[in-house]
Amino acid sequence: MKKTPANLQELAESLTPERQRFLSLLSEKKWFRKTDFEVQKKVFSLSEDFNGFLADFSARRDEYGGMEVVKLIDILPANYNLIALFKVRSTNTNQEFTYEYVSSKYGKSPGYRGLILLEVEGKIKYFMLRRTDKFPIGETVYETIGTYIKYEGGKLVNMPKVVEDVLKRELFMKDLVIKRFIDLGQMHTDPAVVPTSISLYAAVIDITDSPNLKKIESRVIHAKPIQYKLLIEPIDKLKDYVNKVDESYFLACILRLVSMGVINLQ
C-alpha cells in the first residue's frame, strides 16, 4: 500500500522531476510554507495537464499592489480552469481578507486567436471567421480561429506550426502553407480576474491556385462536441464585421493590423 506523504519532504519524493522543481520553487515562498499541508498536497494532486498552471503558480511573488500574500486557502479545479483562493494582508492597514483568481490549467498563456487573410495574386482578397455557439454565454457568435496550446515538456508548443496544422485540417488542404505569419503580440483578457494573456496572430494564405475555395465557403464543420461554420468574406466587408463582431480577440487583431498598415478600413 502506497504511503501517504506526511510532510513536504515526503511529498517531494512522490513527485515527478518536473513537479519536484515546482515544489522547490514554491517552498521558497513564505506564503506557501504557511499554507496548510492538506492544501499543499491538493496542489500537487492536480493531474499532469495542470503543469502549465503550476509553472506560473510557482513563479508568483509574495506581494502585489500593496497586498502581502499570507497563505493559499484552497484550490478549486474543474475541467479546464482552476480557482486559487488566498488569504492576503493589506500592507497599509494590516487588514486581512481573501482574494482569488481564475487560471487556465494550461497557465497564463493558454492559447492563441487570430485572423485568417486569404491572398489572390499578391493581394488580400478575403478574410475568414468562424460562427459557432458558445456554451458559457448561450449565444451564437462570430469568432477568430484558435485553440489551446498545451504545456508539454516545460514549454508551450510552437504556435505558428500549431496554427498551420489547425488550418490544414479546417481548410481541407493537405499542402496548405502559411505565406506570412504575423505575430500581433498578446492581449490580457481581464487582468482583474484572470492572469490569462492570449497570443494574437494573422496568417496570410495564398489561394491563387486553390481549387477548394467554393467548397470551403459556408460549410459546416463537424467538430466534436460542437459544430461551427467557416465564413469566408471579401475583404471589403471587413468594416461591416467590425461593427457586428463583439469578440475582443477579433477587435484587437483588427486594431493591430490597421496600426501596422497590413489592412485598412477605408
In this prediction, residue 154 carries a pLDDT of: 47
Backbone angles phi and psi of 26, in degrees to 5: -70, -30
For residues 159 and 221, what is the distance between their CA atoms, to the nearest angstrom?
23
Each residue of 126-144: pLDDT tens digit?
898 888 888 777 888 888 9
**Which residues are CB-neighbours of 49 under 8 A, at least 6 positions away?**
105, 106, 150, 151
| pTM score, whole prediction | 0.75
Low-confidence winner among 24-28, 31-35, 191-195 (lowest mean pLDDT):
191-195
Residue type, 33: R
Instruction: State how far the Cα of 193 lies from the Cα of 116, in Å rounded to an integer.
Output: 29
pLDDT at 210 over 90: no
Buried b (16+ CB within 10 A) or exposed e, 228-253: bebbbeebeebeebeeebebebbebb
- The answer to which of 53-57, 175-179, 204-208, 223-227 has the lowest mean pLDDT is 223-227
With a CB cutoff of 8 Å and minimum separation 6, the contacts of 156 are 52, 109, 149, 150
Spell out the domains of the chain, with CATH numbers in brackets: 8-104 (no CATH), 111-259 (3.90.79.10)
Q: Please, which residues bridge with residue 200 across strands?
A: 113
| Amino acid 147: pLDDT | 74
Average pLDDT for residues 248-260, to the nearest whole number? 94
Q: What is the mean pLDDT of the chain?
A: 83
> Tell me: the pLDDT tens digits for 213-244?
655 555 555 555 567 777 888 899 999 999 99
Tell me if 221 sits within 8 A of 232, measured CB to CB. Answer: no
